[in-house]
Amino acid sequence: MSPTGRSKAEPDRPRKILLLRLRRIGDVVMTTPAVALLKSFWPAVHLTYLIEEPYRRLVEGLPAVDRVLAVPAKQDRGAFLGLLRDIRRERFDVVLDFHGGPRASWITAFSGAKLKIGYAIRGKGFLYDRRVPRSPEQGALHSVQSHASLVRALGLVFDDAALPPYQLPEATAEEKARVRAVMEELGLAAKRFAVQHIGAGNAFRDWGGDRHAALAAALVERPGFRVALIGGTDDRARQEHVIARAGAGARVAGLTGRLNLIEMRELMSQAAVFVGPDSGPMHIAASTPIPLVAFFGPTLPAHFAPWRTEGRAILLQKEMACRPCPQRVCVTADYRCLMSITPAEAAAACFKLIGERA
């Protein structure tokens, strides 16, 4: 990958950079184009990515990342102070805080790095040496482009067109073998099944078990076609509900909680289509070549659409006067922007993409 619009006189190259994005799936995935572009400018710089343990596998093995520093999702005061001491001993030249949350901003502040770069967030911006706006005053900025602005703050010059697709690690031989075994166990043939994400994580992304069941039932009406349901361990009760309500027997297979994040990606790469809400797994799917269907409620694709999926993604959304909104509190109390997307619409979008690639 060769970035366009490089400055003729590049700034002094740091030796060691600490990258911070502690969580969650989609947010971590959306940092990877900026990280890859940074490494393409300065191949010799040593990049350490600090992340919470549950998400380690998303960056472990990335060509652009030299070291992954994984920390527990929760730390007591003693462990946190120990982490700060370890980071200071590393003598990083630069910290890029892609996160901006309380823990990440304080890690940045006490890192001992010569240059600290982060977002101009109220109450935290003073902790950084260079601050960039998180959102433009006018228009919309995708989260990938927002992260790239932190890289620009290093003095590097490039166009957004230089930003690559998502970069995720390849599955190991053991992970690939595990996915093959699961596919054989469940009778999933390559390119003859859909991956359907039934989880949510929060109310404004929760499409409901009945809608997911109706979608699964519609998808398996295609002769010889199956559906693999994915999600976390917390989604197993919903999985049972979806399978029971879909009434499709073994044609709908449950995989919630059975695969790690990169195994999930490997499964997606074998599928005919991905379908699900605006979510972390949607962004993982976007890192593969498969087509995908995603439904958006109060969040906007302008900020969180799957990156670099032109021509192979259908994004379902309903225009409403109250959208976008603060998300956590719905003025109509029913998230109708999301709930008005029907299983029939989602199934039709899937079949359109599958048909175009059949």
Is pLDDT at 328 greater than 50 in this prediction? yes
The tens digit of pLDDT for each residue in 168-211 reads: 999 999 999 999 999 999 999 999 999 999 998 888 899 999 99
List, in sequence order, every beta strand (DSSP E) within the chain.
16-20, 46-52, 67-71, 94-97, 115-119, 130-132, 193-197, 226-230, 252-254, 273-277, 292-295, 313-316
> Across the beta sheet with 67-71, what order do the strands follow?
67-71, 46-52, 16-20, 94-97, 115-119, 130-132
Give the residue among 322, 251, 327, 313 at the shortest CA–CA distance from 276: 313
Indicate the helix (H) or strand (E) that contains 82. helix 77-90
CB-based contact 92:109 (threshold 8 Å): no
Q: Comparing C-alpha atoms, which of 326, 319, 275, 321 is closest to residue 301?
A: 319
The helix or strand, by DSSP H or E, that contains position 177, with its residue range, turns out to be: helix 173-186
Q: Quick one: which of 252, 290, 253 has its CA closest to 268?
A: 290
Distance (Å, rounded) from C-alpha 30 to C-alpha 305? 10
Per-residue pLDDT, 13: 87
Backbone angles phi, psi at 311, to 5 degrees: 85, -10
Spell out the residues 6+ positions from residue 100 whose beta carbon is closer than 8 angstroms to its own.
118, 119, 121, 124, 134
Q: pLDDT per residue over 278-326, tens digit each?
A: 999 999 999 999 999 999 999 999 999 999 999 999 999 999 988 888 8
Cα torsion 227, 165, 117, 110: sign: positive
Predicted confidence at residue 81, as pLDDT, reads 97
Q: Which two tokens stand for residue 249?
A: 């027997």
Average pLDDT value for residue range 329-351: 94
d(CA 97, CA 108): 7
Assess whether pLDDT exceeds 90 at residue 32. yes
Distance, CA of 67 to CA of 60 (rounded, Å): 8
Using alpha carbons only, give the angle 20, 25, 30 rounded to the nearest 5 degrees.
Answer: 65
Which domains does the chain carry? 16-162 (3.40.50.2000), 173-357 (3.40.50.2000)
SS3 content of the chain, % helix, strand, coil (to 5): 40, 15, 45
Report the pLDDT value the prediction gives residue 4, as an integer from 0 to 100: 39
**Whether 233 contacts 262, CB under 8 Å:** no
Identify the band that residue 9 occupies on the pLDDT scale cut at 50, 70 and 90. very low
Q: What pLDDT band is residue 6 in, cutting at 50, 70 and 90?
A: very low
Task: Order across the sheet with 273-277: list the strands.
Answer: 252-254, 226-230, 193-197, 273-277, 292-295, 313-316
| pLDDT tens digits, 47-102 | 999 999 999 999 999 999 999 999 999 999 999 999 999 999 999 999 999 999 99
pLDDT at position 332 is 87
Angle of helix 77-90 versus helix 102-109 axis, rounded to 10: 40
Nearest by Cα to 341 from 211, 210, 225:
211
Tallying the residues shown for the chain, one arrives at: 358
Q: What is the pLDDT of residue 331?
A: 86
What's the CA dihedral at 39, 41, 45, 48 to 10 degrees? -30
| Cα–Cα distance for residue pair 252/262, rounded to 1 Å | 22
Residues 224-264: tens digit of each pLDDT: 999 999 999 999 999 999 999 999 889 999 999 999 999 99
Angle between helices 209-219 and 236-246 (to 10 degrees): 50
pLDDT at 3 exceeding the cut of 80:
no
Full DSSP string of 10-67: PPPPPSEEEEE----HHHHHTTHHHHHHHHHH-TTSEEEEEEEGGGGGGTTT-TT-SE
Residue 55 confidence (pLDDT): 98
- Note the pLDDT tens digit of each residue in 258-284: 999 999 999 999 999 999 999 999 999
Q: Can you give the pTM of this predicted structure?
A: 0.94
Question: 92-145: per-residue pLDDT in tens?
Answer: 999 999 999 999 999 999 999 999 999 998 888 889 999 999 877 767 899 999
Classify the C-alpha dihedral 204-271-307-50 as positive or negative. Answer: positive
The whole-number pLDDT of residue 122 equals 85
